[in-house]
Chain A
Amino acid sequence: MTRVFVPRDSAARSVGADEVAAALAAAGFNIVRNGSRGLLFLEPLIEVETAQGRVAYGPVTAGDIPGLLPALKTGGAHRLCLGNIEEHPYLKNQERLTFARCGITDPVSVADYVKHGGFAGLRKALAMPGAAIVAEVTESGLRGRGGAGFPTGLKWKTVHDAAADQKYICCNADEGDSGTFADRMVMEGDPFMLVEGMTIAAIAVGATRGYVYIRSEYPDAIATMREAIDAATAARWLGTDIQGTDKSFRLEVRRGAAAYICGEETAMLESLEGKRGTVRPKPPIPALEGLFGKPTVINNVLSFSAVPFILAEGGAAYKNYGMGRSRGTLPFQLAGNIRQGGLVEKAFGVTLRQLVEDFGGGTFTGRPVRAIQVGGPLGAYLPAGQMDLAMDYETFAAAGAMVGHGGIVVFDDSVDMARQARFAMEFCALESCGKCTPCRIGSTRGVEVIDRIIAGESREANLELLSDLCQTMTDGSLCAMGGLTPMPVMSAVRHFPEDFDKPSRLAAE
């Protein structure tokens, strides 16, 4: 019977993929639960294997299935038919290095993974000295995809050069930034890629144990990663004597417990040690004194996931993509009030306008774009007029913004930016670990000051106070939580001052 692919990705499931799969199974189709292609606005997007490639239909509901059956048998025409999915402009215009396989394979089949080029990087790494692996990653120019953009090769070299009886590899999969879901899609759609990247890191630096710290809000990712780790271990790509070599790496999944701060690397280490997720002062850096005080590589899911390509194709091949000091590609995530939300992997240098307008198709509501928050809750709000900014770490930093983890949240003209600024402070107050004063107290005071500005009380004086408070938080906080909360707040004040002046404008009218 014809094979039909129905994603098991939780975004696809959130709009009825399970019901569609059940209806198709009842009709006698051979169902493969693949990852998502990332065209989330078309989910549930199902694909039929034909001689001409995989023909897609979407968005499909369970109710559409009876009418779809004749078309599905041959990959024939139907109003929901999208044609050969590989030819879809949303997919065709991307540069997929990390997400090359996601959506194509059965995420938990080792055989499928290997058939589609999987473990080629690890196979190479197994025959290389650690220093050579580190050099290859350094050559690629890869920078930390969690948001900070620290050179991955340099981090690995520090751990490689440290002498210790035990070293660790920790994957930060506490993807808490609103507007981001690329980590989740990797873990649910191509988990062996993460396993492979982490194993390469382990071999490179001489670590034998690793953890994937996944947020509890991602139960599907947790289940799929666990399944993948078991399958990889059974196939000897993990565990002791990997593929008959003397290399060993034991990998475990650990669940978070709903604390945004645990996405901060030192808070994550505390959490992995079974403690409150409070931030550790640096130095010492985790590369030297990390988990249980041992040298530890901590990288984001996307950083580890870029590594198999770099090893398989060479650092230079990865470096060929990108602009300036931002090399390679970034899986951008189009979210919020957007017509065609989803995952778009492009080389650095693509503009915000290309992402939001060409790929995203503007707002979901059809109203004008007013503000775009890039880089999660700690990222700046940009006005529609700045959409020609190129996505590049340095370009964004120069504009007082940040690329972060590549999340792009679009707001239409109904947004009240004073409310968004207030929320940034409220979120910081809720999620602060409480260790340092500027963040713990500053965020609460920030909410109060913005409330007074919204109410029109001594507006000028309170705006100055807010600016002062933000400076204190930026300079005095222990980590990026308190240090960057001022970014969304002050960018909103700077770019949308009219929203902080409503009472006087109302009075004038």
Chain B
Amino acid sequence: MFTVRQCHELDMSGKHTLIDKSPREATAAREIALRYGNQPDALLEILHDLQHELGCIPEAALPALAKALNRSRAEIHGVVTFYHDFRHEAAGRHVIRLCRAEACQSMKANELIAMVERFLQVRLGQTTADGAITIQEVFCLGNCALAPAVMVDDRVVGRVDAARMEKIIAECRS
């Protein structure tokens, strides 16, 4: 068995071991970066894929990513924190994104959001106690003629009223 320190030294020296003792996050980061030929310009694609695989962008993945792309850790950190899509902690089992942009506002999106917050007893950006649902704000889903719109995971739902919202929440919890 190697100690943590020995593992680290091995890693730093670039020597290969038969058993990959690095954290799962680092392994995933390396594999995904390799899929994109370790091209630094593909960073957003890599981060999307990494988040898809791990549920978030954990700190532990950043050093491996920086090394693979030959960028500094600060640069990678800067990119991760700049974009609203990337999260540090895993979301609930389902993410409901509620549009707060003007077209949806004209159809009472703010009232809808307030209602959802009261119903789920969480604020935008938080996850329900049962871990089922994270609610987030989003600015435009391109469904502005059928406002108000929300996105449930990757699916857009239009003309959302209280009844449709209750159904969405029930489906997320089932």
Please report A residues at the B interface, Cβ cutoff 8 Å.
10-11, 13-15, 40-41, 43, 175-181, 183-184, 216-221, 254-260, 271-277, 292, 333-338, 341-342, 364, 373, 377, 407, 409-412, 415, 420, 423, 427, 431
Q: Is the CB of B145 within 8 A of A334?
A: yes
Give the residues in chain A near B116, CB-CB below 8 Å: none
Give the residues in chain A near B146, CB-CB below 8 Å: 11, 14-15, 40-41, 43, 341
Q: Is the CB of B141 within 8 A of A217?
A: yes
Please, how many angstroms separate the alpha-carbon atoms of A292 and B142 in the complex?
30
Per-residue interface assignment for chain B, residues 57 to 82, with 1 indicating a CB less than 8 Å from any chain A CB and 0 otherwise: 00000000000010000010011001
Q: Is the CB of B42 within 8 A of A180?
A: no
Expressed in whole angstroms, the minimum distance between the Cβ of A298 and any Cβ of chain B is 16
Please, how many angstroms separate the alpha-carbon atoms of A336 and B154 in the complex?
22
Residue ID in chain A nearest B145 by CB atoms: A341
User: Can you identify 17 A-B contacts, CB atoms within 8 angstroms?
Assistant: A10-B142, A10-B143, A11-B146, A15-B146, A217-B142, A218-B142, A257-B84, A272-B41, A274-B41, A335-B103, A335-B144, A336-B106, A341-B144, A377-B101, A409-B106, A411-B106, A420-B105
**B140 interface contact, C-beta 8 A:** yes
Q: Which of A10, A183, A259, A415 contacts B156 (CB 8 A)?
A: A10
A-contacting residues, B101-123, CB 8 Å: 101-107
Residue ID in chain B nearest A414 by CB atoms: B108
Q: Is the CB of A181 within 8 A of B101?
A: no
CB-CB under 8 A for A176 and B44, given A14-B146, A257-B83, A257-B86: no
Please, how many angstroms separate the alpha-carbon atoms of A335 and B144 in the complex?
5
Q: Is the CB of B44 within 8 A of A254?
A: yes
Q: Is the CB of A14 within 8 A of B48?
A: no
**B96 interface contact, C-beta 8 A:** no
Please, how many angstroms separate the alpha-carbon atoms of A377 and B103 in the complex?
10
Q: Is the CB of B107 within 8 A of A337?
A: yes
Q: Is the CB of A415 within 8 A of B106?
A: yes
Q: Is the CB of B102 within 8 A of A423?
A: yes
Q: Which of B42, B82, B144 contacts A178 (CB 8 A)?
A: B144
**B56 interface contact, C-beta 8 A:** no
**B138 interface contact, C-beta 8 A:** yes
Please report B residues at the A interface, Cβ cutoff 8 Å.
39-45, 47-48, 69, 75, 78-79, 82-86, 101-107, 138-147, 149, 151, 154-159
Q: Is the CB of B143 within 8 A of A14?
A: yes
Please, how many angstroms separate the alpha-carbon atoms of A17 and B156 in the complex?
12
Dominant secondary structure at the A interface: mixed
Expressed in whole angstroms, the minimum distance between the Cβ of B151 and any Cβ of chain A is 7
Residue ID in chain B nearest A415 by CB atoms: B106
Please, how many angstroms separate the alpha-carbon atoms of A177 and B145 in the complex?
13
Residue ID in chain A nearest B36 by CB atoms: A274
Q: Is the CB of A364 within 8 A of B144?
A: no
Q: Which of A41, A183, A257, A333 contacts B144 (CB 8 A)?
A: A333
Q: Which of A216, A218, A409 contacts B102 (CB 8 A)?
A: A409
Please, how many angstroms separate the alpha-carbon atoms of A32 and B48 in the complex?
31
Q: Which of A176, A181, A423 contacts B143 (CB 8 A)?
A: A181
Give the residues in chain B near A272, CB-CB below 8 Å: 41
Q: Which of B40, B145, B159 contacts A342 (CB 8 A)?
A: B145
Report, nearest first, the 3 A-B pairs whose CB atoms are least far apart: A341-B145, A178-B101, A274-B43
Expressed in whole angstroms, the minimum distance between the Cβ of A62 and any Cβ of chain B is 14
Q: Is the CB of A410 within 8 A of B106?
A: yes
Q: Is the CB of B145 within 8 A of A40?
A: yes
Q: Is the CB of B154 within 8 A of A219?
A: yes
Give the residues in chain A near B158, CB-CB below 8 Å: 11, 14-15
Give the residues in chain B near A180, CB-CB below 8 Å: 140, 142, 144
Q: Is the CB of B41 within 8 A of A178?
A: no
Q: Is the CB of A335 within 8 A of B42?
A: no
Please, how many angstroms separate the alpha-carbon atoms of A177 and B139 in the complex?
8
Q: Is the CB of B147 within 8 A of A255?
A: no
Give the residues in chain A near B159, CB-CB below 8 Å: 14-15
Please, how many angstroms separate the alpha-carbon atoms of A135 and B138 in the complex?
41
Q: Is the CB of A276 within 8 A of B84?
A: no
Please, how many angstroms separate the alpha-carbon atoms of A273 and B47 in the complex?
14
Q: Which of B39, B75, B145 has the most CB of A within 10 A?
A: B145
Give the residues in chain B near A427, CB-CB below 8 Å: 139
Expressed in whole angstroms, the minimum distance between the Cβ of B110 and any Cβ of chain A is 9
Q: Is the CB of B85 within 8 A of A335?
A: no
Give the residues in chain B near A221, CB-CB below 8 Å: 142
Residue ID in chain A nearest B157 by CB atoms: A14
Give the residues in chain A near B47, CB-CB below 8 Å: 257
Q: Which of B78, B145, B155 contacts A335 (CB 8 A)?
A: B145
Q: Is the CB of A412 within 8 A of B106?
A: yes
Residue ID in chain A nearest B69 by CB atoms: A274
Expressed in whole angstroms, the minimum distance between the Cβ of B47 and any Cβ of chain A is 7
Q: Which of A15, A220, A260 has the most CB of B within 10 A?
A: A15
Expressed in whole angstroms, the minimum distance between the Cβ of B86 and any Cβ of chain A is 6
Q: Is the CB of A259 within 8 A of B82?
A: yes
Q: Is the CB of A273 within 8 A of B143?
A: no
Q: Is the CB of B156 within 8 A of A216?
A: no
